[in-house]
Amino acid sequence: MSEETWLAARLIPTSGINGAEEQERRATSALLAVMSAVREFGRVLTQSLGAPAGTVQTFIEVPFKLGNQQFFPDGLIRVRRGQRQWTALIEVKTGSNALKSDQLEAYLDIARE
């Protein structure tokens, strides 16, 4: 899927609130939206991870293809400054939802590519 179709994170997401998956989507979208809207907040969170100072862009459920499968990390943070670009994939768990090792391994493979 081309970058033009990525969904920007929104402070007030339009997804429902019925299940755990929608709860994670809303939480991810709200947090990432604030990171991109409040420059200092986004900078503090990304600086400790090694991102350059720059413009923070945030997206939710960006599709990635790995082999024959398609994966949708909960979020993506991208920081740009000049020609430099730093990107992080985000996985959010709320409530008692557990992080699955195969999901994490797939995201690590995507990040390596």
CB 74 within 8 A of CB 80: no
**Radius of gyration of the chain, Cα coordinates, nearest whole angstrom:** 14
**pLDDT tens figures, 69-98:** 999 999 999 999 999 999 999 998 887 888
In the chain, where the domains are located:
3-112
Separation CA 5–CA 73 (nearest Å) = 15
The pTM (predicted TM-score) of the whole model is: 0.82
**pLDDT tens figures, 52-66:** 999 999 999 999 999
